Chains A and B, each alone.
Chain A
Amino acid sequence: MHKLTPLLWLLFSAGGTLAAFLYPVHVVLLGLVFPLGLLEAPSFEAQRALLAHPLTRLYLFVFVSLPLFHWAHRFRYTLYDGLQLKHLTPLIVVFCYGGALVGTAFCGYLLWTVPR
């Protein structure tokens, strides 16, 4: 585990940077502007065509995966310090990084098998 710490910190940091720069505009559009009808979302066909583009899928893979590792690393220490759960370390580590790995694998599968 200790040997992996620099890598995990790098993923935490990269995911944090990505989420800071790119997440707000996505949340505003997908979560608020489109559902409230303030602007019209592109049609299903247009969105599907955008998703089929390899660059979009590469972008979305990084967009989902890195922030999941950011969450894993930060939440791990939130549980340690905030809730004083140091004695549950192995369970927390498996839950956090395991969750990020599962999410990344699922995302990779979904994007790899997008029908054309």
Chain B
Amino acid sequence: MSSTTFHPRWHRAPVSVWWWLRKRSYALFVLREISSVFVAFFAGVTLLQVRALRAGPEAHARFVEWLRSPGVLALHVVVLAFVLLHAITWFHLAPKAMALRISGKKVPDAAIVMGNYAAFLVASAVLAFFILRG
């Protein structure tokens, strides 16, 4: 809302900070953006896990206890919801961000999205194998 001596004030209707609650698609957009906070949170949890493993059995046992506390469990349910929201929106945006061509023909968007889901399942299975094997 700035004004100068040389021209009249700009007309800008003030927008509420809550503009994104007015429409479902706006709200979904903001939730998608906020998902990054939960992504960063889990990166932090992974750091704590590494620190606990380095520090020894007692520290690791304390970390495991912390994971079992009801508040942290509930938080991880929320983290999972946001991480999945991030993953799903990311998989669906991929064909819009990058047009893939095979021998000059544009690959259909749906094929790229399905490919993402397939790769996601394979990656998850491989990781689960390594994590469970220890």
Contact = CB atoms under 8 A, between A and B. Distances in A.
Interface of A: 13, 15-17, 19-32, 34-36, 39, 41-44, 46-51, 60, 63-64, 67-68, 70-71, 74-75, 77-78, 82-84, 103, 106-107, 110-111, 113-115
* Interface of A: prevailing SS: helix
- Interface size range of chain B in the complex: 35 or more
Contacts of B20: 82
Contact of B124 (A25, A35, A114): A25
Contacts of B84: 24
A31 B17 contact: no
B60 A44 contact: yes
Nearest to B131: A29
Contacts of A60: 46, 50
B36 A75 contact: yes
B67 A31 contact: yes
Given A35-B68, A39-B132, A78-B34, A20 B80 contact: no
Contact of B37 (A32, A44, A71): A71
Contacts of B119: 21
Contact of B57 (A16, A20, A27, A44): A44
B83 A24 contact: yes
Given A71-B43, A110-B47, 18 more contacts: A22-B124, A23-B39, A23-B42, A24-B83, A31-B73, A31-B80, A32-B73, A32-B76, A32-B77, A49-B134, A63-B43, A64-B47, A71-B37, A74-B33, A74-B36, A75-B36, A82-B30, A114-B53
B110 interface: no
Q: Nearest 7 CB-CB pairs, A to B? A: A42-B134, A31-B76, A46-B134, A71-B40, A74-B36, A20-B90, A25-B124
